[in-house]
Amino acid sequence: MFCIDRVNQKGRLFLATAGLFLKIAKPFFQMKTVSTPCWVTRRSSLILLGVCGLVCLSAIRSQAQVTLFNENFNGYTSFPDQVPAGDYVNKGIPEISEGASELWFGARFQSGDGTINSDLFVQKFGDYAGFNPPSNPAGNATPVGRFEDDAGIVLRINTTGYTNITLDFDWRTFDTSSGDKVTVGYYVGEIGFNTGANRFMDLRTTSANAAYSWGNWTQLMSQGDNGYPFEHETFTLNAAANAGVVYVAFWLDDGEGDYGKLDNVFITGTSIVVPEPTTLSLGLLGCALVLARRRFSR
């Protein structure tokens, strides 16, 4: 009740100030003087009113770019397994408790023959440590996400109040054949992932969750073997603007024992900030005072 009363009070304050502004501004459209032509008076008054209007409009909407998701896996320090031999990994869905910066989920989109813990990893190095061929002079000696066998990692954002949703990420493949493709897309709406310990869902067309299978997502890319180096991609998620809950998935279409790798996932949006009525009231009051001073000085 306190919050509602407070909003009503601010609304009444804004309406009262707007009324005062209009009351003071009205005579400027009716002014005539002996020494100054009427059209000059009215034109200068209209200019002043226009300036005041622009000031208030600039306060109504101000845009700012906001980070909605940011993950580089660099917080990981434990890689107890080797899959395959020589590739140090941490099995399973990326966990905040183990070094991830954001909350991740796991999903299988097509038929695969492994478990989720055998198909999703965080790998210690994006490339082999110290392995920098001429085509990849910089390499990537930092942790990366990894997926295989029709499984992938999924993130969740809320885009309410944001437009221009932009996704950036780096990716590459390892030991893939022509049919293995890193696939990326997004789904607008709630899917129902558990946010607790078991954050995996079967999203195959044959599962109980077929309504959320890949054919219902907006696909952004499906690209095969790129080898070295990591490639950077940028996509605008047009249908995600101010849409509420949105999921983004990265998975390897086909590919048992072949890998897709992911790093530097970054999502931004442009917020539209609407100020409180008190802010607009102060702007209108300031304009009203200027007009009043102009009126009574004549």
In this prediction, residue 39 carries a pLDDT of 42
103 within a domain of the structure (yes/no): yes
Do residues 22 and 155 share a domain? Answer: no
Do residues 175 and 194 share a domain? Answer: yes
276 within a domain of the structure (yes/no): no
Beta-ladder partners of 263: 170
Domain that holds residue 202: 65-271
Q: How many structural domains are present in the chain?
A: 2
Do residues 135 and 72 share a domain? Answer: yes
Do residues 34 and 69 share a domain? Answer: no
Do residues 78 and 139 share a domain? Answer: yes
With a cut of 50, say whether residue 71 has pLDDT above it.
yes
Do residues 100 and 163 share a domain? Answer: yes
122 within a domain of the structure (yes/no): yes
Do residues 14 and 79 share a domain? Answer: no
70 within a domain of the structure (yes/no): yes
85 within a domain of the structure (yes/no): yes
Q: Which pLDDT tens digit goes with each residue over 240-288?
A: 999 999 999 999 997 677 899 999 999 999 997 755 555 555 555 555 5
CA angle 295, 296, 297 (to 5 degrees): 95
CB-count burial class (<10 Å; 0-12, 13-18, 19+) for 251: buried
217 within a domain of the structure (yes/no): yes
- Confidence bin at 33 (pLDDT 50/70/90): very low
In this prediction, residue 174 carries a pLDDT of 83
